[in-house]
Structure 1
Amino acid sequence: MNENPKTTGRRKSKKKLAAYILVPVLGIGGMIYGLADRYLIEHVEVVMDQKETASEGTAAPQAQTSPNVASAETGATSDDWNYESEAVKIHIDQIQTGSGPDQITYFVADVQMKDSAALQSALAENSFGRNITQTTSEIAEDHGAVFAVNGDYYGFREDGVIIRNGTLYRDEPARTGLALFQDGTMEAYDEQQVTAESLLERGVTQTLSFGPALIQEGQVNADLDNVKIDTNFGNRSIQSANPRTGIGLIAPNHYVFVVVDGRKENYSRGMTLTEFAQVFQDLGCTEAYNLDGGGSSTMYFRGRVVNNPQGKERERGVSDILYVPEGN
């Protein structure tokens, strides 16, 4: 039976219309999946079991001590802002400057250790890979930390040189990194000029890949106004006032960690990189390095978050922390 030409034409038009609709839909779907795969879907590369974790020197979670008492198990004394054992002394100050919309609130943790092994790194879900996250406090509690700050959020990227607790996990040089060594020192370095192998030979314990370096050999980085860092959709300046996390070195095995709150009017506007570097210089640091900031900026001490993450007292999931275990 012969088919009506008009009917055949309508069918062809519908097929063309369907094709026109399907192609962009598939394209958008592919783009959405690509973004999800890049920024949301977990990609586990290495899982550490309890035996491996123990061999790296991480401590098992322990019961929280009460304020102003000595722990019978660890011999440590502590309160809401201090912790002291035979191996570690930690003191935290909350500092406020300015007023009204120009007020800044930040926290300085002075950490003195007898041995660099007291400063360790831990990964979210005890796994290495992309987009694996827990809050800073969750990771800290899982590893029995008395003190912790967020790290470099290595899992947001596919590049960088990542050495944690003496193990090389990723070797994709990309930016200015930070190396912490067994002798209790630290220094910023160019990942594209210094090999991971040479760092390990020198006794590196941790590397962090974020930046920029704030202070090197006692001098503040003069180019902070031009620093850019990768984000979801390209590069942008990070010099404007933001919440921040950083680590500084005063002397071997004597560190300061600074966490700046922000994004909450009349409480804290955050700091520019220049202001942040100045804080470390005023504290007497010879080296200082900027870690992941913004909503990630978190300081944990003895079972509580001491700052105000995101200006909403709400932690954001991160991929890693730097911490001091209870009992050290």
Structure 2
Amino acid sequence: MRIYRASVLLLVLTLVLGCILPGQAEQPTATPTATPVPEGYTYPPLPIDLSPGPPVIRENYGEDGLSYTDPSLLVQIYEDRAYNTPILYAHIRISHPSQMRTAPAGTFRMQTTSLGAHIARRYNAVIAINGDFFVYDAKSYAVRQGETYRNRPTGEDVLIIDDLGNFHPLFAPETPEQILQAVEALAQEGRSVVNAFTFGPILVHNGKMQEVSGTKYFNISPGVNAQRVALVQLGPLEYLIVSTQGPEDKNSKGLTIPEMAAYVEEVGYRFSDKGCLVAYNLDGGSTNTLYFNGRKINSPGGKTRDIADIIYFASLVR
């Protein structure tokens, strides 16, 4: 009987202490919740800043040296010849707009240059091309990774890339107010500017090649046969890079700007019945840099020039 009473007292004491000292009682384990991943891609996006992409997994490059495949990024490079000139073009599909990025040789506030391949390797680019050299210009509209560096348009065509990875061409804006109006129009649609370039001209818009007019493009010698490079949007998260050789390469004539526009227009229809939504000319000549699989692959006989910035595509796979 005493043993029974002692057991009851012990049980009561345990319950009382549990009420007085709740912190000593066993707490329920919180159910872990996964970080939500937005629909449409498998891996978390990259930040909109100057951080590099994840390290490149070399095994994802094809044995042919012309392809790259991972769950977030597909690249296929094609070799072609037109206008008596060897041409490379790369078809690119990404899973999230943050994979299309820009990077400087040093910073975007310093006039620093480096070989494009060095910049691309430093930022873990799967594929890259040269940018617009804006740090050496006194005037332009320049946005890089969401930060606006300058709004002093020159009358040259501007390419805006928004946070969905969509291209928006501005034809010959000459005042900051014209730029601000375009930016505000995007904001009203819920969009923001991630990158913007001042070079041009716009080669193709809505499937049709554009005429180069005025005197804004004398610096790129539009009628001269030269190396040319263009960045193209085909559709949502689908792009082309087109890079031609020039007269300094063996068995190569090079393209004029009208020839480049006509060629890019035709190539766009190889992939889409709508053709190129927007094709934008970038700095050609010896600046022309197409980087893939650890090296510059275009214009093997041409001079390689140090450049100030690149446009590149990164993987999401870590």
TM-score where L is the length of structure 1 = 0.71
CA contact (8 A) 1:81 1:91 kept: yes
1:270-289 per-position Cα deviation (integer Å, ceiling 9, x unaligned) = 11111111122112212111
Instruction: Name the aligned partner's letter for residue 257 of structure 2.
Output: L
Aligned to 2:280: 289
Are residues 1:322 and 2:318 paired? Answer: no
Aligned to 1:216: 205
Q: Quick one: which of 110, 118, 124 aligns to 1:138?
A: 118
1:135-192 per-position Cα deviation (integer Å, ceiling 9, x unaligned) = 1111101101111000111123111111111111111121211011122310211443
1:242-266 per-position Cα deviation (integer Å, ceiling 9, x unaligned) = 1011111111111101111102254
Q: Classify the secondary structure of the residue corresponding to 1:194.
A: helix
Aligned to 1:94: 79
Aligned to 1:59: 52
Instruction: Name the aligned partner's letter for residue 312 of structure 2.
Output: Y
Higher strand share: 1
TM-score where L is the length of structure 2 = 0.73
Taking the aligned partners of 1:230 and 1:133, their CA distance within structure 2 comes to 24
Q: Which has the larger radius of gyration?
A: 2
CA contact (8 A) 1:262 1:270 kept: yes
Shift of 1:306: 0.9
In the TM superposition, structure 1's runs of 4+ consecutive aligned residues that sit over 4 Å from their partners are none
What runs of 5+ residues in structure 1 fail to find an aligned partner? 1-52, 70-75
Identical aligned residues as a percent? 26
Distance change >3 Å, CA 255–CA 221, structure 1 → 2: same
Aligned to 1:276: 260
Are residues 1:173 and 2:157 paired? Answer: no
Instruction: Name the aligned partner's letter for residue 119 of structure 1.
Output: M
More displaced stretch, 195-204 vs 270-279? 195-204
What runs of 5+ residues in structure 2 fail to find an aligned partner? 1-45, 269-274
Q: Classify the secondary structure of the residue corresponding to 1:145.
A: coil
Taking the aligned partners of 2:97 and 2:48, their CA distance within structure 1 comes to 16
1:1-328 superposed matches below 5 A? 56=49, 58-59=51-52, 62=55, 65=58, 69=59, 76=60, 78-79=62-63, 80-97=65-82, 103-125=84-106, 127-129=107-109, 131-174=111-154, 175-189=156-170, 190-191=172-173, 192=175, 193-195=178-180, 197-198=183-184, 201=187, 202-222=191-211, 224=212, 226=214, 228-229=216-217, 231=219, 237-264=221-248, 266-282=250-266, 283=268, 284-308=275-299, 311-312=301-302, 314-328=303-317
RMSD: 2.4
More displaced stretch, 207-216 vs 129-138? 129-138
What is the number of equivalent residue pairs in this alignment? Answer: 255
Instruction: Name the aligned partner's letter for residue 106 of structure 1.
Output: I
Distance change >3 Å, CA 105–CA 122, structure 1 → 2: same
